Amino acid sequence: MKNGGNMNKRDLKAKRIVIKIGTSSLLYPNTSRLNLRAIERLAFVLSDLKNQGKEVVLVSSGAIGVGMGRLGLNRRPETIPAQQAVASVGQGELLGIYEREFQHYGKSVAQMLLTRDVLVYPQSKKNVFNAFQELLQMNVIPIVNENDTVSVDELDHKTKFGDNDQLSAIVANLIDADLLIMLSDIDGFYSGNPMSNPSAELYHTVTSIDASIIQAAGGRGTKFGTGGMVTKLKAAKRILKNHQQMVLANGKNPRIIYNILAGEPVGTLFAPKEVVTKEGLA
């Protein structure tokens, strides 16, 4: 079910929140240069949410993009070893910037680099969950990324999540988050590509995702990232299956998070039909 017309105020009641920010929101358009103002704003907003008593987990893309900038590369490496090396360079620099920005507001952050196999085995999955719980109780903001330095996708040993859109949904499932906020370079989910189709409609609410919707979503994102609308819809499908909620919105200005949590009808809300009906969100 998709709803593009009704713009009721939302009542999300979110205390534990996963926020995913994409590469396109961290870098200036068509470059590998960091948008430091965007990161500063993001640190301000998330620190303020912590001051409000909310539990916050940040899933951040950008390691390969930042690494490309640091190494002076104009094209994303094609081989896995080269991607791993570039990600290793970029991840360290990216985390250092996050640490400095959050320190301005008296907040501590922790790096969590995950691989898919860690969440497949019950004991290691429990260990990851316990780590999240302890960090949140310590008032620390976990900053999560895929461990691109070691993540590969081979026939006999799959360690890769595929993209951070999927990872953010998996983390939201794991810690039983009330809400996943996915910040990207698009205002939400449209009926078509708004850049090529001016009449494309922005959907306010989506309660189910089928193959036809995913097929209509288009391809991947920029050369600096791996995402695209398809990966976001797959993440949303995982969220809906777990009876959780997700908002897809434009992350150009991270202060949009305030609007989302205030219930303003920005972006697209993905929520199970029973939740939408009960809360009158559609």
Residue list for the binding site? 20, 61, 148, 164, 184-185, 226-232
Which residues of 83-178 form beta strands (DSSP E)?
109-114, 141-146
- Distance from C-alpha of 38 to C-alpha of 251, rounded to nearest angstrom: 9
Residue 165 vs residues 70, 73, 89, 237, 261: alpha-carbon distances, Å: 24, 24, 22, 11, 20
Strand partners, 129: none
Contact 203, 248 (CB under 8 A): no
| Placement of tokens 């939400």 in the chain | 188
d(CA 142, CA 140): 6
Per DSSP, 249 falls in state E
Residues forming the annotated binding site for substrate?
A: 61, 148, 164
d(CA 282, CA 276): 6
Residues 6+ apart with CB under 8 A from 24: 184, 185, 221, 222, 224, 225, 251
In the structure encoding, which two tokens stand for residue 248, read together? 């897809």
Please enumerate, by residue number, every residue annotated as part of a binding site for ATP.
20, 184-185, 226-232
The secondary element (H helix, E strand) that includes residue 3 is: strand 2-3
Beta bridge partners of 270: 206, 246
Q: Distance (Å, rounded) from C-alpha 271 to C-alpha 3?
A: 12
CA 138 and chain centroid, separation: 23
121: which 2 tokens? 């085995």
